[in-house]
With several copies, the nearest count.
Chain A
Amino acid sequence: MENTELKSVLETLLFITDRPLPIGQLCKVLGESDAGRIGSMIDELKSDYASRSASVQILEIAEGFQMATRPEHAAFVRKLYADKMTLKLSSAALETLSIIAYKQPLTRAEIEQIRGVEVIAALETLLEKRLVRVVGRKETVGRPLLYGTTPEFLRHFGLKSLSEMPPIESFRPSPAQDPPPAAEPAEASLASQNPEGA
Protein backbone atom coordinates (compact mmCIF):
# COMPACT_ATOMS: atom_id res chain seq x y z
CA MET A 1 0.00 0.00 0.00
CA GLU A 2 1.24 3.43 -0.93
CA ASN A 3 1.89 5.99 1.82
CA THR A 4 -1.12 8.30 1.32
CA GLU A 5 -3.50 5.36 1.19
CA LEU A 6 -1.89 3.76 4.22
CA LYS A 7 -2.22 6.97 6.21
CA SER A 8 -5.84 7.30 5.19
CA VAL A 9 -6.70 3.76 6.28
CA LEU A 10 -4.78 4.29 9.53
CA GLU A 11 -6.84 7.42 10.19
CA THR A 12 -10.03 5.43 9.61
CA LEU A 13 -8.98 2.69 12.01
CA LEU A 14 -7.81 5.05 14.76
CA PHE A 15 -11.08 6.93 14.42
CA ILE A 16 -13.44 3.99 14.54
CA THR A 17 -11.82 1.93 17.26
CA ASP A 18 -13.29 1.96 20.73
CA ARG A 19 -10.06 0.79 22.32
CA PRO A 20 -6.37 1.50 21.77
CA LEU A 21 -4.89 -0.43 18.83
CA PRO A 22 -1.41 -1.91 19.25
CA ILE A 23 0.99 -1.54 16.31
CA GLY A 24 1.02 -5.31 15.88
CA GLN A 25 -2.71 -5.43 15.35
CA LEU A 26 -2.59 -2.50 12.92
CA CYS A 27 0.07 -4.37 10.91
CA LYS A 28 -2.15 -7.42 10.68
CA VAL A 29 -5.27 -5.51 9.66
CA LEU A 30 -3.32 -3.48 7.10
CA GLY A 31 -1.43 -6.49 5.79
CA GLU A 32 1.83 -4.60 6.38
CA SER A 33 4.82 -6.39 7.85
CA ASP A 34 6.92 -3.30 8.54
CA ALA A 35 5.90 -2.06 11.99
CA GLY A 36 8.39 0.80 11.70
CA ARG A 37 6.59 2.10 8.65
CA ILE A 38 3.24 2.07 10.47
CA GLY A 39 4.88 3.85 13.39
CA SER A 40 6.22 6.65 11.23
CA MET A 41 2.89 7.01 9.41
CA ILE A 42 1.20 7.46 12.78
CA ASP A 43 3.79 10.09 13.66
CA GLU A 44 2.97 11.90 10.41
CA LEU A 45 -0.73 11.75 11.17
CA LYS A 46 -0.05 13.10 14.64
CA SER A 47 1.85 16.09 13.32
CA ASP A 48 -0.78 16.68 10.60
CA TYR A 49 -3.39 16.92 13.32
CA ALA A 50 -1.22 19.13 15.48
CA SER A 51 -0.28 21.49 12.66
CA ARG A 52 -3.87 22.24 11.76
CA SER A 53 -4.79 22.41 15.47
CA ALA A 54 -7.43 19.77 15.06
CA SER A 55 -9.64 19.36 18.06
CA VAL A 56 -8.93 15.64 18.04
CA GLN A 57 -5.53 14.12 18.75
CA ILE A 58 -3.89 10.76 18.30
CA LEU A 59 -2.70 9.39 21.60
CA GLU A 60 -0.41 6.56 22.46
CA ILE A 61 -1.91 4.93 25.50
CA ALA A 62 -0.45 1.99 27.35
CA GLU A 63 -1.37 -0.68 24.84
CA GLY A 64 -1.70 1.20 21.59
CA PHE A 65 -3.00 4.15 19.60
CA GLN A 66 -6.38 5.79 19.60
CA MET A 67 -7.97 9.11 18.74
CA ALA A 68 -9.12 11.21 21.66
CA THR A 69 -10.51 14.64 22.36
CA ARG A 70 -8.24 17.37 23.70
CA PRO A 71 -8.53 18.42 27.33
CA GLU A 72 -9.48 22.02 26.42
CA HIS A 73 -12.98 20.97 25.49
CA ALA A 74 -13.57 18.52 28.29
CA ALA A 75 -16.29 20.68 29.82
CA PHE A 76 -18.44 20.36 26.71
CA VAL A 77 -17.94 16.62 26.44
CA ARG A 78 -19.02 16.25 30.05
CA LYS A 79 -22.08 18.37 29.35
CA LEU A 80 -22.95 16.18 26.36
CA TYR A 81 -22.84 13.10 28.50
CA ALA A 82 -24.28 14.65 31.63
CA ASP A 83 -27.74 13.16 31.15
CA LYS A 84 -26.33 9.79 30.28
CA MET A 85 -24.29 9.39 33.43
CA THR A 86 -27.27 9.29 35.71
CA LEU A 87 -28.84 5.93 35.55
CA LYS A 88 -32.14 5.44 37.24
CA LEU A 89 -33.78 2.06 37.07
CA SER A 90 -37.37 1.18 37.81
CA SER A 91 -37.99 -1.58 40.33
CA ALA A 92 -39.21 -3.82 37.50
CA ALA A 93 -35.94 -3.28 35.68
CA LEU A 94 -33.94 -3.90 38.86
CA GLU A 95 -35.77 -7.13 39.61
CA THR A 96 -35.30 -8.33 36.06
CA LEU A 97 -31.63 -7.40 36.27
CA SER A 98 -31.09 -9.33 39.46
CA ILE A 99 -32.76 -12.41 37.98
CA ILE A 100 -30.45 -12.18 34.98
CA ALA A 101 -27.39 -11.58 37.15
CA TYR A 102 -28.00 -14.69 39.23
CA LYS A 103 -29.43 -17.06 36.64
CA GLN A 104 -27.54 -16.10 33.49
CA PRO A 105 -27.59 -17.15 30.76
CA LEU A 106 -31.36 -17.43 30.48
CA THR A 107 -34.16 -16.67 28.08
CA ARG A 108 -36.91 -14.10 28.26
CA ALA A 109 -39.45 -16.85 28.87
CA GLU A 110 -37.41 -18.08 31.83
CA ILE A 111 -37.27 -14.60 33.33
CA GLU A 112 -41.00 -14.24 32.86
CA GLN A 113 -41.53 -17.55 34.58
CA ILE A 114 -39.77 -16.21 37.67
CA ARG A 115 -41.27 -12.73 37.63
CA GLY A 116 -44.71 -13.94 36.62
CA VAL A 117 -45.23 -10.96 34.33
CA GLU A 118 -44.10 -9.82 30.93
CA VAL A 119 -40.55 -8.45 31.10
CA ILE A 120 -39.99 -7.20 27.57
CA ALA A 121 -40.15 -3.52 28.55
CA ALA A 122 -37.70 -3.96 31.43
CA LEU A 123 -35.45 -6.04 29.23
CA GLU A 124 -35.43 -3.37 26.57
CA THR A 125 -34.42 -0.73 29.14
CA LEU A 126 -31.59 -2.94 30.38
CA LEU A 127 -30.36 -3.61 26.84
CA GLU A 128 -30.53 0.09 26.05
CA LYS A 129 -28.47 0.93 29.11
CA ARG A 130 -26.04 -1.85 28.22
CA LEU A 131 -26.41 -3.52 31.59
CA VAL A 132 -27.57 -6.67 29.84
CA ARG A 133 -26.75 -8.23 26.50
CA VAL A 134 -27.54 -11.21 24.37
CA VAL A 135 -24.96 -13.89 25.02
CA GLY A 136 -26.21 -16.56 22.65
CA ARG A 137 -29.15 -18.68 21.74
CA LYS A 138 -30.65 -21.62 23.57
CA GLU A 139 -30.61 -24.73 21.43
CA THR A 140 -34.26 -25.54 21.87
CA VAL A 141 -37.28 -25.01 19.68
CA GLY A 142 -37.22 -21.53 18.22
CA ARG A 143 -33.64 -20.94 19.41
CA PRO A 144 -34.63 -18.18 21.83
CA LEU A 145 -32.09 -15.50 22.78
CA LEU A 146 -30.13 -15.93 25.99
CA TYR A 147 -29.39 -12.91 28.16
CA GLY A 148 -26.51 -12.15 30.50
CA THR A 149 -24.96 -9.16 32.24
CA THR A 150 -22.25 -6.91 30.77
CA PRO A 151 -18.98 -5.46 32.10
CA GLU A 152 -20.96 -2.21 32.36
CA PHE A 153 -23.23 -3.96 34.86
CA LEU A 154 -20.26 -4.78 37.08
CA ARG A 155 -18.88 -1.27 36.79
CA HIS A 156 -22.22 0.35 37.53
CA PHE A 157 -22.73 -1.65 40.71
CA GLY A 158 -19.09 -1.43 41.71
CA LEU A 159 -18.42 -5.14 41.44
CA LYS A 160 -15.06 -6.62 40.49
CA SER A 161 -16.72 -9.78 39.26
CA LEU A 162 -19.98 -11.65 39.46
CA SER A 163 -18.58 -13.73 42.29
CA GLU A 164 -18.70 -10.63 44.47
CA MET A 165 -22.47 -10.81 44.49
CA PRO A 166 -23.93 -12.26 47.70
CA PRO A 167 -25.22 -15.82 47.28
CA ILE A 168 -28.85 -15.79 46.24
CA GLU A 169 -29.78 -18.02 49.18
CA SER A 170 -28.87 -15.19 51.54
CA PHE A 171 -31.95 -13.39 50.27
CA ARG A 172 -34.38 -16.17 51.18
CA PRO A 173 -37.39 -14.45 52.73
CA SER A 174 -38.43 -15.33 56.25
CA PRO A 175 -41.61 -17.44 56.17
CA ALA A 176 -43.94 -14.65 57.25
CA GLN A 177 -42.73 -12.12 54.76
CA ASP A 178 -44.63 -11.63 51.53
CA PRO A 179 -42.69 -10.60 48.48
CA PRO A 180 -43.58 -7.13 47.27
CA PRO A 181 -45.92 -7.02 44.29
CA ALA A 182 -44.23 -6.73 40.91
CA ALA A 183 -44.15 -3.09 39.95
CA GLU A 184 -44.99 -1.54 36.62
CA PRO A 185 -41.95 -0.91 34.50
CA ALA A 186 -41.48 2.82 34.64
CA GLU A 187 -40.75 4.39 31.29
CA ALA A 188 -39.36 7.54 32.80
CA SER A 189 -35.70 6.68 32.55
CA LEU A 190 -35.66 6.20 28.77
CA ALA A 191 -35.98 9.85 27.96
CA SER A 192 -33.34 11.03 30.34
CA GLN A 193 -30.87 8.51 29.04
CA ASN A 194 -31.25 9.72 25.52
CA PRO A 195 -29.21 12.90 25.25
CA GLU A 196 -31.43 14.48 22.64
CA GLY A 197 -34.47 13.68 24.72
CA ALA A 198 -36.13 12.26 21.61
Chain B
Amino acid sequence: MTPVVKDYEVHLEMFEGPLDLLLFLIKKNDLDIYDIPISQITQEYLSYLDLMKDLNLEVAGEFLVLASTLMQIKARTLLPSQDSEEEGPDPREELVAKLVEYQKYKEAAKFLEARAERFKDVFYRGSPHFSDEEKTLSIGVFDLLATLREVLDRAEEGGMEVAGEEFPIEDKMRKILHLLESRPYVFFKDIFQDERKRLAILTCFLALLELIKLQKVFARQDGPFAEILIYRKEAPASAEGGIDHGEHGTQERP
Protein backbone atom coordinates (compact mmCIF):
# COMPACT_ATOMS: atom_id res chain seq x y z
CA MET B 1 0.00 0.00 0.00
CA THR B 2 1.23 3.45 -0.77
CA PRO B 3 1.30 5.93 2.05
CA VAL B 4 -1.64 8.28 2.38
CA VAL B 5 0.55 11.31 2.59
CA LYS B 6 3.12 11.43 -0.17
CA ASP B 7 5.77 13.71 -1.53
CA TYR B 8 6.43 15.64 1.64
CA GLU B 9 9.99 15.91 2.69
CA VAL B 10 9.20 15.74 6.36
CA HIS B 11 11.27 13.26 8.24
CA LEU B 12 10.84 12.49 11.84
CA GLU B 13 14.01 11.22 13.43
CA MET B 14 12.88 7.90 14.76
CA PHE B 15 15.34 6.46 17.21
CA GLU B 16 12.67 4.48 18.95
CA GLY B 17 12.29 0.86 18.00
CA PRO B 18 9.56 -1.77 18.17
CA LEU B 19 10.35 -2.65 21.79
CA ASP B 20 9.87 1.00 22.71
CA LEU B 21 6.47 0.93 21.05
CA LEU B 22 5.42 -2.22 22.89
CA LEU B 23 6.58 -0.88 26.25
CA PHE B 24 4.76 2.36 25.50
CA LEU B 25 1.52 0.51 24.80
CA ILE B 26 1.91 -1.62 27.92
CA LYS B 27 2.35 1.49 30.07
CA LYS B 28 -0.39 3.44 28.33
CA ASN B 29 -2.91 0.67 28.88
CA ASP B 30 -1.61 -0.03 32.35
CA LEU B 31 -0.84 -3.66 31.51
CA ASP B 32 1.31 -6.14 33.36
CA ILE B 33 4.49 -6.73 31.43
CA TYR B 34 4.49 -10.36 32.59
CA ASP B 35 0.92 -10.98 31.46
CA ILE B 36 0.28 -9.15 28.21
CA PRO B 37 -3.13 -9.62 26.56
CA ILE B 38 -1.70 -10.60 23.21
CA SER B 39 -4.71 -9.92 20.95
CA GLN B 40 -5.23 -6.44 22.24
CA ILE B 41 -1.57 -5.50 22.11
CA THR B 42 -1.11 -6.95 18.62
CA GLN B 43 -4.05 -5.00 17.28
CA GLU B 44 -2.84 -1.74 18.80
CA TYR B 45 0.72 -2.35 17.67
CA LEU B 46 -0.42 -2.90 14.10
CA SER B 47 -2.58 0.20 14.12
CA TYR B 48 0.44 2.32 15.12
CA LEU B 49 2.42 0.72 12.33
CA ASP B 50 -0.31 1.66 9.86
CA LEU B 51 -0.33 5.19 11.13
CA MET B 52 3.43 5.44 10.76
CA LYS B 53 3.13 4.20 7.19
CA ASP B 54 0.35 6.70 6.47
CA LEU B 55 2.61 9.45 7.70
CA ASN B 56 5.36 8.17 5.45
CA LEU B 57 7.66 7.80 8.44
CA GLU B 58 10.61 5.57 7.92
CA VAL B 59 9.56 2.40 9.63
CA ALA B 60 12.58 0.29 10.48
CA GLY B 61 12.46 -3.33 9.38
CA GLU B 62 12.62 -4.38 13.02
CA PHE B 63 9.05 -3.13 13.45
CA LEU B 64 7.82 -5.61 10.87
CA VAL B 65 9.81 -8.45 12.40
CA LEU B 66 8.18 -7.84 15.76
CA ALA B 67 4.77 -7.58 14.12
CA SER B 68 5.15 -11.08 12.75
CA THR B 69 6.38 -12.35 16.11
CA LEU B 70 3.27 -10.92 17.75
CA MET B 71 1.01 -12.57 15.19
CA GLN B 72 2.85 -15.83 15.66
CA ILE B 73 2.28 -15.68 19.42
CA LYS B 74 -1.35 -14.80 18.86
CA ALA B 75 -1.80 -17.76 16.53
CA ARG B 76 -0.31 -20.08 19.13
CA THR B 77 -2.69 -18.93 21.82
CA LEU B 78 -5.60 -19.77 19.54
CA LEU B 79 -4.41 -23.34 19.04
CA PRO B 80 -5.19 -25.95 21.67
CA SER B 81 -2.05 -26.40 23.73
CA GLN B 82 0.03 -29.37 22.67
CA ASP B 83 3.38 -30.64 23.67
CA SER B 84 5.01 -27.28 23.58
CA GLU B 85 8.36 -28.85 24.40
CA GLU B 86 8.79 -30.02 20.84
CA GLU B 87 8.20 -26.62 19.35
CA GLY B 88 11.38 -25.06 20.67
CA PRO B 89 11.50 -21.90 22.73
CA ASP B 90 8.22 -20.21 23.52
CA PRO B 91 8.21 -16.96 21.52
CA ARG B 92 6.04 -15.32 24.14
CA GLU B 93 8.51 -16.02 26.92
CA GLU B 94 11.33 -14.79 24.74
CA LEU B 95 9.50 -11.57 24.03
CA VAL B 96 8.64 -10.94 27.67
CA ALA B 97 12.26 -11.58 28.65
CA LYS B 98 13.39 -9.04 26.05
CA LEU B 99 10.91 -6.47 27.24
CA VAL B 100 11.86 -6.96 30.88
CA GLU B 101 15.53 -6.70 30.00
CA TYR B 102 15.10 -3.52 27.97
CA GLN B 103 12.77 -1.97 30.53
CA LYS B 104 15.56 -2.17 33.13
CA TYR B 105 17.85 -0.06 30.98
CA LYS B 106 15.09 2.42 30.28
CA GLU B 107 14.70 2.90 34.04
CA ALA B 108 18.48 3.12 34.44
CA ALA B 109 18.42 5.86 31.79
CA LYS B 110 15.99 7.80 33.98
CA PHE B 111 18.36 7.39 36.88
CA LEU B 112 21.17 8.85 34.76
CA GLU B 113 18.97 11.71 33.62
CA ALA B 114 18.16 12.61 37.24
CA ARG B 115 21.85 12.54 38.11
CA ALA B 116 22.76 14.82 35.22
CA GLU B 117 20.08 17.22 36.33
CA ARG B 118 21.53 17.33 39.85
CA PHE B 119 25.05 17.98 38.66
CA LYS B 120 24.29 20.34 35.82
CA ASP B 121 25.36 23.40 37.80
CA VAL B 122 28.87 22.24 38.67
CA PHE B 123 31.51 23.08 36.09
CA TYR B 124 35.06 21.89 35.70
CA ARG B 125 37.88 23.44 33.82
CA GLY B 126 37.84 21.49 30.62
CA SER B 127 34.11 20.85 30.75
CA PRO B 128 33.20 20.49 27.11
CA HIS B 129 31.18 23.25 25.52
CA PHE B 130 28.40 22.30 23.23
CA SER B 131 28.21 24.32 20.07
CA ASP B 132 25.46 22.24 18.55
CA GLU B 133 22.69 21.68 21.02
CA GLU B 134 21.44 18.17 20.91
CA LYS B 135 18.08 18.37 19.27
CA THR B 136 15.63 16.43 21.34
CA LEU B 137 11.94 16.14 21.04
CA SER B 138 11.10 16.67 24.66
CA ILE B 139 8.32 14.16 24.25
CA GLY B 140 8.26 10.72 22.74
CA VAL B 141 7.23 10.00 19.18
CA PHE B 142 4.69 7.46 20.38
CA ASP B 143 3.07 10.02 22.67
CA LEU B 144 2.57 12.22 19.63
CA LEU B 145 1.22 9.31 17.60
CA ALA B 146 -1.13 8.27 20.41
CA THR B 147 -2.72 11.70 20.49
CA LEU B 148 -2.89 11.82 16.72
CA ARG B 149 -4.79 8.53 16.81
CA GLU B 150 -7.33 9.96 19.21
CA VAL B 151 -7.82 12.95 16.95
CA LEU B 152 -8.29 10.69 13.93
CA ASP B 153 -10.78 8.51 15.79
CA ARG B 154 -12.87 11.52 16.61
CA ALA B 155 -12.79 12.90 13.09
CA GLU B 156 -15.23 11.91 10.42
CA GLU B 157 -14.61 8.64 8.70
CA GLY B 158 -12.73 8.63 5.42
CA GLY B 159 -15.78 8.50 3.16
CA MET B 160 -15.76 12.23 2.85
CA GLU B 161 -12.39 12.39 1.15
CA VAL B 162 -12.52 14.14 -2.16
CA ALA B 163 -10.18 12.61 -4.66
CA GLY B 164 -7.38 14.92 -5.65
CA GLU B 165 -8.15 17.37 -2.90
CA GLU B 166 -4.93 18.88 -1.69
CA PHE B 167 -3.79 20.14 1.63
CA PRO B 168 -0.51 21.95 1.12
CA ILE B 169 1.73 21.48 4.12
CA GLU B 170 2.74 25.14 3.97
CA ASP B 171 -0.88 26.18 4.63
CA LYS B 172 -1.01 24.04 7.71
CA MET B 173 2.29 25.39 8.95
CA ARG B 174 0.96 28.93 8.58
CA LYS B 175 -2.20 27.92 10.40
CA ILE B 176 -0.27 26.55 13.38
CA LEU B 177 1.95 29.62 13.60
CA HIS B 178 -1.15 31.79 13.36
CA LEU B 179 -2.71 29.96 16.30
CA LEU B 180 0.40 30.70 18.31
CA GLU B 181 0.50 34.39 17.42
CA SER B 182 -1.77 35.52 20.20
CA ARG B 183 -0.74 33.08 22.92
CA PRO B 184 2.41 31.34 24.10
CA TYR B 185 1.11 27.81 23.68
CA VAL B 186 -1.79 25.70 22.44
CA PHE B 187 -2.94 22.21 23.24
CA PHE B 188 -1.72 19.72 20.69
CA LYS B 189 -5.30 18.67 20.00
CA ASP B 190 -6.36 22.26 19.33
CA ILE B 191 -4.20 22.30 16.24
CA PHE B 192 -6.63 19.86 14.63
CA GLN B 193 -9.74 21.61 15.94
CA ASP B 194 -11.40 22.48 12.66
CA GLU B 195 -10.01 19.58 10.66
CA ARG B 196 -12.43 16.82 9.73
CA LYS B 197 -10.63 14.98 6.99
CA ARG B 198 -8.08 12.29 7.61
CA LEU B 199 -5.64 13.57 5.05
CA ALA B 200 -5.93 17.11 6.37
CA ILE B 201 -5.22 15.90 9.88
CA LEU B 202 -2.20 13.89 8.78
CA THR B 203 -0.89 16.86 6.82
CA CYS B 204 -1.41 19.08 9.82
CA PHE B 205 0.59 16.66 11.92
CA LEU B 206 3.43 16.65 9.41
CA ALA B 207 3.33 20.44 9.35
CA LEU B 208 3.81 20.38 13.10
CA LEU B 209 6.78 18.02 12.79
CA GLU B 210 8.30 20.32 10.22
CA LEU B 211 7.87 23.33 12.52
CA ILE B 212 9.50 21.40 15.35
CA LYS B 213 12.35 20.49 13.04
CA LEU B 214 12.72 24.12 11.98
CA GLN B 215 12.69 24.99 15.66
CA LYS B 216 9.81 27.42 15.25
CA VAL B 217 7.81 25.57 17.88
CA PHE B 218 8.46 22.90 20.44
CA ALA B 219 6.31 20.28 22.11
CA ARG B 220 6.18 19.65 25.82
CA GLN B 221 4.49 17.17 28.06
CA ASP B 222 4.48 17.41 31.84
CA GLY B 223 4.48 13.80 32.89
CA PRO B 224 3.69 10.55 31.15
CA PHE B 225 0.52 10.51 29.07
CA ALA B 226 -0.30 14.08 30.08
CA GLU B 227 -1.76 16.56 27.61
CA ILE B 228 0.81 17.65 25.01
CA LEU B 229 1.38 21.38 24.67
CA ILE B 230 2.83 23.18 21.67
CA TYR B 231 4.88 26.27 22.43
CA ARG B 232 6.06 29.05 20.22
CA LYS B 233 9.83 29.17 20.26
CA GLU B 234 11.06 32.64 21.11
CA ALA B 235 13.99 33.99 19.20
CA PRO B 236 16.99 33.29 21.42
CA ALA B 237 17.93 36.31 23.51
CA SER B 238 21.19 37.78 22.30
CA ALA B 239 23.91 36.05 24.23
CA GLU B 240 25.24 39.16 25.84
CA GLY B 241 28.74 38.84 27.15
CA GLY B 242 28.96 35.27 26.00
CA ILE B 243 32.10 33.83 24.58
CA ASP B 244 31.46 32.99 20.99
CA HIS B 245 32.28 29.37 20.59
CA GLY B 246 31.06 29.23 17.05
CA GLU B 247 34.54 28.45 15.84
CA HIS B 248 35.60 26.89 19.07
CA GLY B 249 33.70 23.71 19.73
CA THR B 250 36.73 22.20 21.33
CA GLN B 251 38.96 23.71 23.91
CA GLU B 252 42.63 24.19 23.70
CA ARG B 253 44.53 22.49 26.39
CA PRO B 254 47.85 23.48 27.83
Chain A residues at the B interface, C-beta cutoff of 8 Å:
15-19, 25, 27-29, 59, 66-71, 74, 77, 79-95, 97-99, 101-102, 114-118, 121-122, 125, 129-130, 133-137, 141-143, 150-152, 155-159, 165-166, 168-169, 171-173, 175-177, 180-181, 183-184, 190, 194, 197-198
Contacts and interface: CB of A to CB of B under 8 A. Distances in A.
A177 B34 CA distance: 10
A123 to B, nearest CB: 11
A29 B241 contact: yes
B66 A116 contact: yes
B128 A129 contact: yes
Interface string B100-126: 111111111111111111111111111
B119 A81 contact: no
Contact of B17 (A97, A115, A141, A168): A115
A81 B129 contact: yes
Contacts of B127: 16, 85
Interface residues of B, number: 71
Given A156-B119, A158-B118, A115 B102 contact: yes
Contacts of B121: 71, 74, 198
A80 B32 contact: no
B136 interface: yes
A159 B15 CA distance: 27
Given A141-B58, A176-B32, A198-B121, A82 B110 contact: no
Closest 4 CB pairs of A and B: A117-B17, A18-B126, A82-B242, A28-B241
Nearest to B139: A91
Nearest to B33: A173
B102 A116 contact: yes
22 contacts: A15-B125, A18-B124, A18-B252, A80-B243, A83-B239, A84-B129, A84-B242, A88-B133, A88-B134, A97-B112, A101-B112, A115-B17, A115-B102, A116-B102, A121-B13, A133-B249, A133-B250, A156-B119, A158-B118, A168-B105, A171-B103, A183-B114
Contact of B131 (A84, A157, A168): A84
B134 A135 contact: no
A171 B108 contact: yes
B100 A115 contact: no
A130 B119 contact: no
B108 A134 contact: no
B114 A184 contact: yes
Given A17-B243, A129-B128, A183-B107, 15 more contacts: A28-B241, A81-B243, A88-B133, A94-B113, A114-B101, A117-B20, A143-B135, A151-B252, A166-B111, A171-B103, A171-B107, A172-B104, A173-B103, A177-B32, A194-B122
Contacts of B109: 91, 94-95, 97-98
A168 B17 CA distance: 21
B105 A98 contact: yes
Contacts of A125: 134
Contacts of B120: 74, 86, 198
B116 A156 contact: yes
Given A18-B124, A81-B243, A157 B115 contact: yes
A15, A99, A136 pick with most chain B CB within 10 angstroms:
A99
A98 B111 CA distance: 9
A69 B66 CA distance: 48
